Amino acid sequence: MIKWGIIGAGNIAKRFAKSLTYEEDAVLYAISGRNPEKLQAFQAEHPCEKIYIGHENLLADPQVDAVYIALPHDMHLEWALKAIHAHKAVLCEKPAVLNEKEMQQIADAARTEHVLFMEAMKSRFEPAYIKTKELINDNTIGTVVSIKAQISSVFPPERYAETYLTRPVVGGALLDTGCYCVNWLNDLCSEEPAIKNVSSVVKDSVDYFIDATMQFGTVEGEAIAGFDRKLEPMAEIVGTKGRIVVERPHRPDVIHVYQDGKEEQTFELPYNHDDFYGQIHHFNTLIKEGKTESDVMSLNDSLRNAHIMDLIRYSL
Same domain? For 91 and 164 the reply is no
pLDDT given for residue 165 in this prediction: 86
Same domain? For 86 and 103 the reply is yes
| Residue 307 covered by a domain | no
* Each residue's pLDDT tens digit, 107-163: 999 999 999 999 999 999 999 999 999 999 999 999 999 999 999 999 888 888 778
Q: In the chain, what is the straight-line distance between the N-terminal and C-terminal CA atoms, in Å?
A: 47
* Each residue's pLDDT tens digit, 284-303: 999 999 999 999 999 999 99
Domain total of the chain: 2
3-state secondary structure the chain: CEEEEEECCCHHHHHHHHHHCCCCCEEEEEEEECCHHHHHHHHHHCCCCEEEECHHHHHCCCCCCEEEECCCHHHHHHHHHHHHHCCCEEEEECCCCCCHHHHHHHHHHHHHHCCCEEEECHHHHCHHHHHHHHHHHCCCCCCEEEEEEEEEEECCHHHHHHCHHHCCCCCCHHHHHHHHHHHHHHHHCCCCEEEEEEEEEEECCEEEEEEEEEEECCEEEEEEEECEEEEEEEEEEEECCEEEEEECCCCCCEEEEEECCCCCEEEECCCCCCCCHHHHHHHHHHHHCCCCCCCCCCHHHHHHHHHHHHHHHHCC
CA distance 280 to 294: 12
CATH number reported for the structural domain that contains residue 11 in this entry: 3.40.50.720
Mean pLDDT of 94-101: 98
Q: What residue numbers bound the domain in which 55 lies?
A: 2-122+278-294
pLDDT given for residue 158 in this prediction: 82
Which of 26, 148, 94, 128 minimizes the C-alpha distance to 297?
94
3-class DSSP assignment, residue 15: helix
The answer, yes or no, to whether residue 65 has pLDDT greater than 90, is yes
High-pLDDT (> 90) share of the chain, %: 95
pLDDT given for residue 88 in this prediction: 98
**pTM: predicted TM-score of the whole model, two decimal places:** 0.96
Q: Kindly list the distances between the CA atom of residue 197 and the CA atoms of 9, 99, 190, 206, 218, in Å, as whole numbers in the listed order.
A: 39, 20, 20, 19, 16
pLDDT given for residue 156 in this prediction: 87
Mean pLDDT of 250-276: 96
Mean pLDDT of 82-97: 98
* Each residue's pLDDT tens digit, 200-256: 999 999 999 999 999 999 999 999 999 999 999 999 999 999 999 999 999 999 999
Same domain? For 118 and 131 the reply is no
pLDDT given for residue 160 in this prediction: 81
Q: How far is C-alpha 266 from the geometric centre of its chain's CA atoms?
A: 25
* Each residue's pLDDT tens digit, 18-48: 999 999 999 999 999 999 999 999 999 999 9
| Residue 99 covered by a domain | yes
pLDDT given for residue 145 in this prediction: 98
| Residue 290 covered by a domain | yes
The answer, yes or no, to whether residue 316 has pLDDT greater than 90, is no
Same domain? For 191 and 103 the reply is no
